[in-house]
Structure 1
Amino acid sequence: MTDQVVELVVRADRAVVDGTERAASLGVAAGRIVAVRDRDHDWGSPAAREVVLGADEVLLPGLVDPHVHVNEPGRTEWEGFASATRAAAAGGVTTIVDMPLNSVPATVDPDALAVKRAAAQGQCVVDVGFWGGAVPGNADQLAPLHDAGVFGVKCFLLDSGVPEFAPLDAAGLRAALAELARIDGLLLVHAEDGDGLTPHEGGPSFAEFVASRPPSAEASAVRAVAEAAATAGARVHVVHLSSAAGLAEVRAAKAVGTRITVETCPHYLALAAEEVPDGDTTFKCCPPIRDRAEQDALWRGLLDGTVDCVVSDHSPCTAELKRLDEGDFGAAWGGIASVQLGLPVVWTAARARGVPLATVVGWMATATADLVGLADRGRLAAGCVADLAVFAPDATWVVDPAALQHRNPVSPYAGRTLSGVVRSTWRRGAEVDPQVPAGELLTRPGARAGVAVPAR
C-alpha cells in the first residue's frame, strides 16, 4: 500500500518495465507514477479511476524524441508546433526537443530562443524542449543559451541547407567545444565532411545521389569531432548516423573514453537504397539512406550498445520543396517527416530481426530521455511523470500520408504495411486530446535562467 492516495490505476497484462515485458499495474497521483505493482494489486483507493488495457495492448512509457524540426516561426508552412505535437502524440511520443534551425530566426542566442518559445506557447499537446545552435561567431552565446534552458546546442560541419545556420569550420568547432566543456554543455553534430563529398549534378538517379555523400565523408567527420571533443574534454553527440564506417569511428572513440554518444533513425533502419525508385524524392535525406549492408551494421551497433538511441529526425517540408514532379535529387529538400511513424516503423523492422519490443522502447524512450537529462521520463517507474502510450504491437495498418497529423502529406512510407498501432497516448496521467494544448515548454534540468512555462 502506498502512502499517497492514488487517483488513477492502469492495469496491463503486458507492460514494459525495467527493460522487460511483464504484467503490471501503475498507481498515478498528481500526474506522476506513485508505484508499479503486480497487475492485480489492491491499491486501496476505491475512488480511483481504473483503466484496464486490452489483451492485445502493451503499456509503454511515452516516447521521448529529441530530434524534431518544428520549423516555426518562419517556415510554419513546413510544419508547426500544433501539427508537430499532434503527430508526436499520435505516434506515442510525449516529449519532443525542437532543433534550432529551419525556423527564422534560428535559435542561436537567448533572444531567438524567446521568440521560439513565444511561438510555441499555447499550441503544444505534448511537452516540448529546445536545442540551441552553434554557428560561426556565436561562441559567446552558448553559455547564455545554456543558462536559458536549452538542452544543448547543435552545429553543422557543412552546408545546412538554410542560410540562417552556417556551418562551423575546424576553428569554430574547437571554440564551441571549449566553451561547452567549461559549462559541461552538450554539442550535437551533423557529422559529414564537406570536403569528402563528390560532385552531384542532380537528376533522378538515387544511386548517384547516394554516391555523392559516401560513408567516408561521415567517418572522417566523426573522427574529427571525436578528436576535438577528447582534446577539449567536452561532451558530443553525433546525430543521424547512417554508415558502418561512421559507426567504427564512434566505437573507437568510445573505447578510449571519449565523451561521445550517437543516434540513428527509423529510415536508416527500415529503408534500403536498393528499394528506392529513381525519381522518388520522398526518400531524400542527408546523410542518405544506404544499402542493406550498412543497415545491418547499424542494427548490430544498436544491439551491441555502440549506437545509443533511435530518434525520428523529423525534417518536414512542403510537397513543392520535395520536387516530386521533377524527381530531381539535387534540387529536392532533404528530410523525412516521421515523428508519428517512428515507433511502428522501427518495431516492424525490429520484430523481423527478432528484437523484442522492450529493447525498442529502451532505444526510443529511456535512452533518449537520458540523453537530454530527463530522468523522470521514458520509463515506467515510481516518481516518473505518468507519460504513457498504449500500443497494439500485432495490429497492422497501411500508411496513408493524407491521414497523418504531419502538416504536409509527404512520406516515403506511403503504402507500406506496418505493425503496431498506438491506441492512445497519455500525458501526466490524462489522455492527450489533440484539440487541447496542455503540453508544457521545458527547460533543461538545472538551468539557472530558464523557467518551465505551461503552454496553456
Structure 2
Amino acid sequence: MTHDLVIRAARAILPTGEEPASVAIDGGRIVAVGALDAAMPADVEIALGPDEVLMPGGVDTHVHVNEPGRTEWEGFDSATRAARAGGVTTLIDMPLNSIPPTVSPEALAVKRAVAAEKSHVTVGFWGGAVPENLGSLRELWDAGVFGFKCFLAPSGVDEFGHLDRAQLRAAMEEIAGFGGLLIVHAEDPEVLAAHEDGVGRGYGSFVASRPEEAETSAIAAVIDGVRATGVRAHILHLSAASALPLVAAAKAEGLPLTAETCPHYLTFDAEHIDDGATQFKCCPPIRSEANRDALWDALADGIIDFVASDHSPATADLKLAGAGDFSVAWGGIAGLQVALPAVWTGARLRGYPLAAVSAWTSAIPAAWAGLATKGAIEAGRDADLVSFAPEEPWEVHAAALEHRNKVTAFDGRALAGRVRRVWIAGSETAEGVLLDRP
C-alpha cells in the first residue's frame, strides 16, 4: 500500500530507545514503524537531516492559558503557538486564571468555545476544586475535565479560593468516590503567614518567605489524605528537595501519589538570581543549587515522575510591578516554548540521554493523563511528531517568543536544542483539537 506520509530518521526516540527508523502515517495515525531503509511507499516522504532526531510530540499537563477573562496575560492563540514552536503538541489548561475559572460545567463550556476557535495544538482542560463547588465535582468530571486542581494556600486570584484541611479531605473523599484525580498546589498557609514579613527586593528574602517547610507540611497532609481515602493525587511544581523523602516513602507504601517538577527549577538556582529580578518569581520559589541538583536526582530515580512547564505568564506591568519588590510582583514563569530545550540542556550536562528527556516531557505525562494515543512513536498512536536538533546552540530572546507578553526568566539564557519541524496528526499545517478526558 501507499502511505500518506513516511518520515525517515537516522535517530528516532522509540519506546525501545533511540534508533534509526522509518515511520509510516495514514489518516493522522502512525500505522507502522520500521527500519530506516524499510520499503514504505508514500505520497510524501521526508528524510530528516543527520543532526535531527524524530521525537514524539511533547505533552505539557500544566499550562495557564488565562482565556477568557485575562486574555491580556495570555490566550489560546498565543499560548498554543508557543507550545507548537517548542515541540509541545498536546497541553492541558489549568482552571485559573481565566474568568470564569473552570469550576462548573458551564464555565468549562465557555472555555471550550473560546479554545475551539484558536488552538494550534491539542488541548484538554483541568477543573478546579474550590470551597464553593465541593459536593458537585462529579458534574464537572462527567463534563470531561482531566481532574481537579486545588490550592492549599491562597492562589493569588480572588475567584479561585483555596481549601483548608477539612475541605481538602472532603474533596479527596468526593473525588475518590468516582475514581477521579486531584492535583495539588501544596504550600501550607500557616507556614507562609509566619514568614511573610520583610520580603522586599531581596531574592534570598523571597525564598525565605516561602520556606521548604511550607511544601513539606502541605505534602504530608496530602499523603495523609491519600492514605485515608485512596484518592489518586499529584503534587504540582515540586520545588523543595526536603519533600522528596515524603514522596518516595508514599510511593514505596504503594499510595497512588505522583509528582512533577518544572524546567525553571531544573535550570536556575537562587545563588544566581539577582535582587529585584522579579521575572524569576514563582511559587513555590526557585531554591538553591544543591536543591536543584537533588531534583535532578529524584527525576532520574523516578521519585519525581515528569516535567511540566507551569507556564504562568502575566502582563509586564504585573510581572515587574513594585520596581523589583518580590512581595508586589506577580509570581509565575513563562516557559512553555523553551521547556524542551531547557530540560535537555540541563540533562545533557548531567549525562542523561535525549530518550530520558522525551520520557519526562512526553511519554510519562501522556500515560499519567490517560492519553493512550499520545507520547510515543509506535503503531496506533497519533502522528504527533517533532524534529529536534539537539546540538544546535541558541540564546533565548524574549521578544522572539510566541507567548503574548515578552517577559520570561529564560531571556538571555544559552540553550542547546532547537525544534525544527512539528507534525500534528501527520500534518505540519493541521490545527489542534479539543480533548475530553479519555
Residue 441 (1) aligns with residue 434 (2): yes
Find the partner of 2:75 among 67, 72, 80.
Answer: 80
Find the partner of 1:148 among 139, 143, 160.
Answer: 143
Displacement of 1:202 in angstroms is: 3.3
After the TM superposition, which residues 205-216 of structure 1 pair with which residues of structure 2 at under 5 Å, given as runs?
Answer: 205-216=202-213
- 3-state SS of paired residue (1:440): coil
Per-residue deviation, residues 363-398 of structure 1 (Å, max 9, x unmatched): 000011012100110110110000001000000111
Task: Name the structure 1 match of 2:370.
Answer: 373
Displacement of 1:5 in angstroms is: 4.5
Whether the 8 Å contact between 2:8 and 2:47 is mirrored in structure 1 is yes
Task: Name the structure 2 match of 1:383.
Answer: 380
Residue 337 (1) aligns with residue 334 (2): yes
Per-residue deviation, residues 200-234 of structure 1 (Å, max 9, x unmatched): 33311000000111111101111100110110010
- 3-state SS of paired residue (1:431): coil
Per-residue deviation, residues 78-131 of structure 1 (Å, max 9, x unmatched): 000000000000000000000001000010010010111111121001010000
Task: Name the structure 2 match of 1:187.
Answer: 182
Whether the 8 Å contact between 1:200 and 1:209 is mirrored in structure 2 is no
- 3-state SS of paired residue (2:323): coil
Find the partner of 1:171 among 151, 166, 173.
Answer: 166
Per-residue deviation, residues 132-158 of structure 1 (Å, max 9, x unmatched): 000003122211111110000100000
Residue 132 (1) aligns with residue 131 (2): no
Whether the 8 Å contact between 1:200 and 1:208 is mirrored in structure 2 is no
Bigger Cα displacement from structure 2, 149-158 vs 407-416: 407-416
Displacement of 1:441 in angstroms is: 0.8
Task: Name the structure 2 match of 1:94.
Answer: 89
After the TM superposition, which residues 28-47 of structure 1 pair with which residues of structure 2 at under 5 Å, given as runs?
Answer: 28-43=25-40, 45=41, 47=42
- 3-state SS of paired residue (1:326): helix
CA distance in 2, matches of 1:431, 1:423: 11
Per-residue deviation, residues 253-312 of structure 1 (Å, max 9, x unmatched): 111111100000000001000000100100000000000111111111111111100000
CA distance in 2, matches of 1:420, 1:324: 33
Whether the 8 Å contact between 1:89 and 1:432 is mirrored in structure 2 is no
Residue 429 (1) aligns with residue 422 (2): no
Whether the 8 Å contact between 2:199 and 2:209 is mirrored in structure 1 is no
Residue 252 (1) aligns with residue 249 (2): yes
Residue 52 (1) aligns with residue 47 (2): yes
CA distance in 2, matches of 1:255, 1:217: 23
CA distance in 1, matches of 2:294, 2:80: 32
- 3-state SS of paired residue (1:361): helix
CA distance in 2, matches of 1:441, 1:357: 29
Whether the 8 Å contact between 1:282 and 1:411 is mirrored in structure 2 is yes
Per-residue deviation, residues 184-208 of structure 1 (Å, max 9, x unmatched): 1000000011111212333110000
Find the partner of 1:415 among 399, 412, 415.
Answer: 412
Residue 70 (1) aligns with residue 65 (2): yes
Q: CA RMSD in A?
A: 1.0
Residue 236 (1) aligns with residue 236 (2): no
Aligned-partner residue type, residue 101 of structure 1: L
CA distance in 2, matches of 1:199, 1:139: 29
CA distance in 2, matches of 1:374, 1:69: 20
CA distance in 2, matches of 1:432, 1:242: 37
Residue 115 (1) aligns with residue 139 (2): no
- 3-state SS of paired residue (2:62): strand
Whether the 8 Å contact between 1:18 and 1:380 is mirrored in structure 2 is yes
CA distance in 1, matches of 2:429, 2:289: 37
What percent of counterpart residues are identical?
A: 56
Bigger Cα displacement from structure 2, 328-337 vs 133-142: 133-142
- 3-state SS of paired residue (2:135): helix
CA gap 1:19/1:342 in 2 versus in 1, 3 angstroms: farther
- 3-state SS of paired residue (2:285): coil
Per-residue deviation, residues 326-375 of structure 1 (Å, max 9, x unmatched): 00100000000111010010000110001100000000000110121001
CA distance in 1, matches of 2:429, 2:208: 43
CA distance in 1, matches of 2:63, 2:266: 18
CA distance in 1, matches of 2:420, 2:322: 35
Q: How many residues get paired?
A: 436
Using structure 1 for the length normalisation, give the TM-score: 0.94
CA distance in 2, matches of 1:373, 1:128: 14
Task: Name the structure 2 match of 1:290.
Answer: 287
CA distance in 1, matches of 2:149, 2:110: 18
Task: Name the structure 2 match of 1:448.
Answer: none
Whether the 8 Å contact between 2:393 and 2:415 is mirrored in structure 1 is yes
CA distance in 2, matches of 1:388, 1:59: 7
Displacement of 1:325 in angstroms is: 6.6
Using structure 2 for the length normalisation, give the TM-score: 0.98
CA distance in 2, matches of 1:405, 1:27: 31
Segments of 5+ residues of structure 1 without an aligned counterpart are 446-456
Aligned-partner residue type, residue 61 of structure 2: P
Task: Name the structure 2 match of 1:450.
Answer: none
